[in-house]
Chain A
Amino acid sequence: MSFLNVESIKKSFGKNEVLKDISFSLERGEVLAIIGSSGSGKTTLLRCLNFLETPQSGKITVNGNVLFDGSDPAKKTEAEIRKNRLHFGLVFQSFNLFPQYKVIENITLAPLLAAKEQIKTNGEYMGEKTYKKAAEAINQNAERLLSKVGLLEKKNDYPCNLSGGQQQRVAIARALALNPDVLCFDEPTSALDPELTGEVLSVIRGLKSSDSTMIVVTHEIGFAHDVADKIIFMDEGVIAEQGTPQQVIDNPQSQRTKTFLSRFNQFGD
């Protein structure tokens, strides 16, 4: 059994069937790139994995833990959903940093709240007995992540004073701070000026070498080709083709993939 298993996910909004039977799996440390035209269901799939949407049916398993099972009639409590969400991280297209907090506070806010809560319920947080000690560790980890994305000197700035690329790098650090099993990116460069996409993509490349398991929804075909271990091409709510970048991008079999890729005739540069 793979590290991440997604089986027969179906999701509709009213009569509109957005995901029709999506299944795939991913090993620990692998990078999956999802490509496809707008409206093909890529973003909805990521949102289902992060429990921002609830699929109608299907099953999601991470590291042997069943996080979602559509055949299980018991409704999940908010606390369970919150716990399941922590297996996944999500970096949004539009960054969604918290504007009123400094860069470092954006990263530490959720871990600090979690630490406070956990100390309250069982007296410790990741082995740290007191909140002060836990907070120190969280802060250090946030600074480590900020230097990883190359923004340590901006830690006391507010998001409004950063460029889009910098904001997205902070958002990546924020998602990493909770140590997700699988980090998802929803078109992380689509809201950026072309000259700013490079810095974000190179941060994601850097994460690959540090063995993060990642799912990247992207329109950057060249980037997907370089970074991904596995590519899924989605079209109208189904996986039209999947395989290695060499298979899907260099030698597409399905006509739909060919048509899609022909629009990116400059890919790979």
Chain B
Amino acid sequence: MEQFLNVTQKLFQGFGENCIIFAVTLLAAIPLGLLVSFGSRSRFAPLRLLVKTVVWIIRGTPLMLQLFVVFYVTPLLFGGIKFDRMNAALIAFIINYSAYFSEIFRGGIEAIPRGQYEAGQVLGMKKSQIFFKIVLLQVVKRITAPISNEVITLVKDTSLARVIAIPEILKQAENFSAQGLIWPLFYTGAFFLIFCGVLTLLFSYIEKKLDYYKG
């Protein structure tokens, strides 16, 4: 029993790290992703090409590799800069998830019929007003499902941070298994399951909230 409490406490400690990565990544990557989606829709071809190439590289390489690059390679390239482990992880996660979110936003924005923009235009609205007052709300409704998918993936991806020795929950469990205690590794599954369960409920609540209109 004492051992169970001890393990639980350590895993909770580790899961705190996962939660930090999760929360900060979400808060930063959603607005950044929106910005990137504007870039990939820009009428200025060089910018569009640049953004698309970056998104291709980010989505085309493993997140684990990106963690290594940010933590180990950046200091080699730029002598002075050295991130602490958590900052390196956050940077890699934010960049990675911004790329994915940007594509979801792009799809959502492009799915809005032209007529909605034109209706705003003939009513004398500014571009920014059309985007924030007309288009964005409709985009949010359309992308709730793909975003929830990505958010749930993020919960589990946070455990990748252990490759740069962040003491997150799987790392903690591995420490126990190194001492011959295997079950904490499987116990971690419960943490993820419960967290993702809560998120699933939250997203179906949001979807219901947005169900008051169609189209």
Contact = CB atoms under 8 A, between A and B. Distances in A.
Interface of A: 50-52, 78, 82-83, 85-86, 88-90, 92, 94, 96-100, 109-110, 113-114, 158-160, 174-175, 178
A110 B123 contact: yes
B137 interface: yes
A159 B120 CA distance: 16
List the 4 closest pairs (A to B, CB-CB), nearest first.
A110-B123, A99-B215, A96-B119, A96-B115
B81 to A, nearest CB: 41
Contact of B213 (A92, A94, A109, A158): A158
A97 B120 CA distance: 10
Main secondary structure of the interface of B (DSSP, over half): helix
Contact of A96 (B118, B212, B213): B118
Contacts of A160: 213-215
A96 B115 CA distance: 6
Contact of A99 (B121, B127, B213): B213
A78 B122 contact: no
A51 B121 CA distance: 9
A178 B213 CA distance: 25
Interface string B76-99: 000000000000000000000000
Contact of A85 (B122, B127, B141, B215): B122
Contact of A86 (B116, B124, B141): B124
Given A99-B215, A100-B213, A109-B123, 14 more contacts: A52-B122, A82-B124, A86-B124, A90-B118, A92-B115, A92-B118, A92-B119, A94-B115, A97-B119, A98-B116, A99-B214, A109-B133, A159-B215, A175-B123
Nearest to B129: A113
A34 B3 CA distance: 85
B138 interface: yes
B127 A174 contact: no
B208 interface: no
Given A52-B118, A99-B138, A178 B215 contact: no
A90 to B, nearest CB: 4
Contact of A110 (B124, B127, B212, B215): B124
B111 to A, nearest CB: 13
Which of B113, B127, B213: most chain A Cβ within 10 A?
B213
Contacts of B43: none
B134 interface: yes
Contacts of A98: 116, 119, 134
Contact of B126 (A82, A99, A100): A82
B20 interface: no
Interface in B127-156: 127, 129, 133-134, 137-138, 141
Nearest to B119: A96
B69 interface: no
B125 interface: yes
B138 to A, nearest CB: 6
Contacts of B119: 92, 96-98
A174 to B, nearest CB: 7
20 contacts: A50-B121, A52-B118, A78-B127, A85-B122, A85-B124, A86-B124, A89-B122, A90-B118, A92-B118, A94-B115, A97-B119, A99-B138, A99-B213, A99-B215, A100-B137, A110-B125, A113-B129, A158-B212, A159-B215, A178-B123
B23 to A, nearest CB: 28
Contacts of A99: 138, 213-215
Contacts of B126: 78, 82, 113
Contact of A159 (B122, B133, B213): B213
A175 B124 CA distance: 11
A243 to B, nearest CB: 29
A174 B123 contact: yes
B135 to A, nearest CB: 10
Given A98-B116, A99-B214, A114 B127 contact: no
B122 A50 contact: yes
A175 B119 CA distance: 9
A110 B116 CA distance: 13
Nearest to A184: B122
Contacts of B134: 98, 109
A242 B215 CA distance: 40
